[in-house]
């Protein structure tokens, strides 16, 4: 076993009795109630999932294993001359809850490099897609094609002990995470730079550095990649991508099926695709303004036009958050430091000053503040990744770290098949009926 896997096993053994105790001693304790509005409204806010990888406080934002994003970025070890931490170190933190030493991360970086090789047939699957396919569809299929490599599935067929499921899941997850950036860069080059062709990985580089290299981008795009993958890694368990990954894996489908499914969920415009929608929307504004910086009145008119035509303002609002997303703030600070004069950033900055008030005035959105997607495309654009269909692929690579860490722990703690109960509309109507009858009797 390598360092991380040994440490993880120790943590799993310490954690298992906590779940047993909760179930045996408090299994019938009620911790939440459910309203009709929650049942009809996408199960918002019902406490029905458990994860220790991250927690999303509505007013504070995300914490990974108890650490805020600024803390994660400050505490995790960094490659020499880099300003952002090793993504591999984040995986260590998510799995164990501990900040690794630089030596521990460097050993994990070597392990990731050893798992990088992508079988030839994956490139063939990608190459078979027409060049106008959406990169998220290609990514999902490429991940799916790797399913034949699953150690979990082959071991399951041979009858492994339930207590050991986590071990082969860890192998599958780490193998896939090491390959995902290579697959992403291959898709990028195939769709947008076929003349340049595929770049082979640089064995001297960590995951983020190598991704930048394979994308054909110079520094600081390596730091952009590290930052991007880290801030997108997890957002507790109830969001569409994380929940889909967990749900599919709960049937003991292996992580290739689960990751492909989570990618499909992320590809929706209300979720991960919002970052490309933001860019499309900003470009519309720039075109209308013929590149000039708009006045506050121009901006307000553009925002109201979008709302009045029945569309949402992309990059604003959130199902859980009730303040500016710290993932937005991290990127905003990066922009202020590295690209304050970027024209798109100036638009984003100017919008930040008008959109929240307009959303409040409209009175629909529960959260008028920007989310992660309001900034992320702007950073990519600045460094020459102007093909905004691709942005959600970057999100998917980052999100895989959280989703897969969760699935490893799901297996370790023996979480069962997910199976909530559904009811019919008539049943719901009957459930609220007695109240109406009582009201009419008084
Ligand atoms: N612009 C306009 N209207 C908005 C809005 C926005 N940015 N955000 C919410 N609303 C509207 C909703 O459409 C809803 O209207 P209806 O009652 O007419 O259906 C109403 O306000 C209440 O919605 P809510 O409870 O505040 O928000 P939800 O939990 O239903 O939805 C969303 C959360 C993120 C999907 C929503 O805020 C939205 O559509 N935002 C724009 C798209 C976006 O930025 N998505 C990325 C979110 C971050 C993420 O997950 N990234 O992956």
Q: Answer yes or no: is the C-beta of 235 below 6 A from any ligand 1 atom.
A: no
H-run or E-run covering 166? helix 165-192
- Ligand 1: which of 275, 361, 365, 371 to mutate, most ligand atoms within 8 Å of CB? 365
**Percentage of the chain with pLDDT > 90?**
93
Give me the mean pLDDT over the 302-308 stretch. Answer: 96
> So which residues are the catalytic ones?
271, 318, 373
Cα 333 to ligand 1 centre (Å): 25
Write out the DSSP string of 211-254: HHHHHT--TTHHHHHHHHHHHTS---S-SHHHHHHHHHHHTT--
Q: To which CATH superfamily is domain 116-426 assigned?
A: Citrate Synthase, domain 1 (1.10.580.10)
Cα 277 to ligand 1 centre (Å): 13
Q: Is the pLDDT confidence value at 63 over 80? A: yes
Domain boundaries, the chain: 3-111, 116-426
Residue nearest to atom 34 of ligand 1 (CA): 318
Residue nearest to atom 45 of ligand 1 (CA): 270
Cα 368 to ligand 1 centre (Å): 9
pLDDT digits (tens, 9 = 90+) for 202-246: 999 999 999 999 999 999 999 999 999 999 999 999 999 999 999
pTM of the predicted protein model: 0.95
Q: Name the pLDDT band for 441 (thresholds 50, 70, 90).
A: low
Give exposure, 312-321, as e/b (b: 16+ Cβ within 10 Å).
Answer: bbbbbbbbbb
Q: Is the pLDDT confidence value at 318 over 80? A: yes
Separation CA 376–CA 229 (nearest Å):
11
Cα separation values, 233 from 49, 143, 292, Å? 18, 18, 36
pLDDT digits (tens, 9 = 90+) for 342-394: 999 999 999 999 999 999 999 999 999 999 999 999 999 999 999 999 999 99
Cβ atoms within 10 Å, residue 390: 23
pLDDT digits (tens, 9 = 90+) for 95-112: 999 999 999 999 999 999
- Ligand 1: which of 237, 317, 324, 361 to mutate, most ligand atoms within 8 Å of CB? 317
């Amino acid at each position: 076993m390598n360092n991380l896997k040994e440490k993880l096993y120790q943590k799993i053994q310490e954690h298992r009795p906590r779940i047993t105790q909760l179930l045996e001693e408090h299994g019938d304790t009620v911790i939440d109630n459910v309203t009709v509005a929650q049942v009809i409204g996408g199960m918002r806010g019902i406490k029905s999932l458990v994860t220790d990888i991250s927690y999303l406080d509505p007013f504070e934002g995300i914490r990974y294993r108890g650490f805020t994003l600024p803390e994660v970025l400050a505490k995790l070890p960094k490659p020499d001359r880099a300003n952002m931490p090793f993504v591999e170190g984040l995986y260590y933190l998510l799995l164990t809850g501990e900040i690794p030493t630089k030596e521990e991360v460097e050993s994990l970086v070597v392990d990731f490099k050893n798992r990088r090789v992508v079988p030839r047939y994956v490139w063939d699957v990608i190459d078979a897609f027409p060049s106008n396919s959406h990169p998220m569809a290609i990514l999902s299929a490429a991940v799916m094609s790797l399913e034949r490599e699953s150690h979990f599935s082959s071991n399951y067929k041979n009858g492994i002990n339930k207590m050991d499921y986590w071990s082969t899941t860890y192998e599958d997850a780490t193998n896939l995470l090491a390959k995902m950036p290579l697959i992403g860069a291959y898709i990028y080059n195939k769709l947008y730079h076929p003349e340049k062709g595929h770049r082979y990985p640089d064995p001297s580089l960590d995951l983020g550095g190598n991704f930048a290299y394979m994308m054909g981008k110079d520094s600081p795009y390596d730091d952009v990649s590290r930052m991007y993958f880290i801030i997108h890694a997890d957002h507790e368990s109830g969001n569409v991508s994380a929940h889909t990954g967990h749900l599919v894996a709960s049937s003991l489908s292996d992580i290739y099926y689960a990751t492909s499914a989570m990618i499909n969920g992320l590809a929706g415009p209300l979720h991960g695709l919002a970052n490309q929608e933001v860019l499309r929307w900003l470009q519309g504004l720039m075109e209308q303004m013929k590149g000039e910086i708009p006045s506050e009145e121009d901006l307000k008119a553009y925002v109201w036009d979008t709302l009045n035509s029945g569309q949402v303002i992309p990059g604003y609002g959130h199902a859980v958050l009730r303040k500016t997303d710290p993932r937005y703030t991290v990127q905003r600070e990066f922009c202020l430091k590295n690209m304050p004069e970027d024209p798109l950033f100036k638009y984003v900055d100017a919008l930040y000053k008008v959109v929240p008030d307009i959303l409040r005035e409209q009175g629909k959105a529960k959260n008028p503040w920007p989310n992660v997607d309001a900034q992320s495309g702007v950073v990519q654009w600045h460094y020459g990744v102007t093909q905004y269909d691709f942005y959600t692929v970057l999100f998917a690579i980052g999100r895989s770290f959280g989703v897969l860490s969760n699935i490893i722990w799901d297996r370790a703690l023996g979480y069962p098949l997910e199976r909530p109960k559904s009811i019919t509309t008539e049943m719901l109507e009957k459930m609220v009926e007695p109240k109406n009858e009582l009201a009419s009797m008084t």
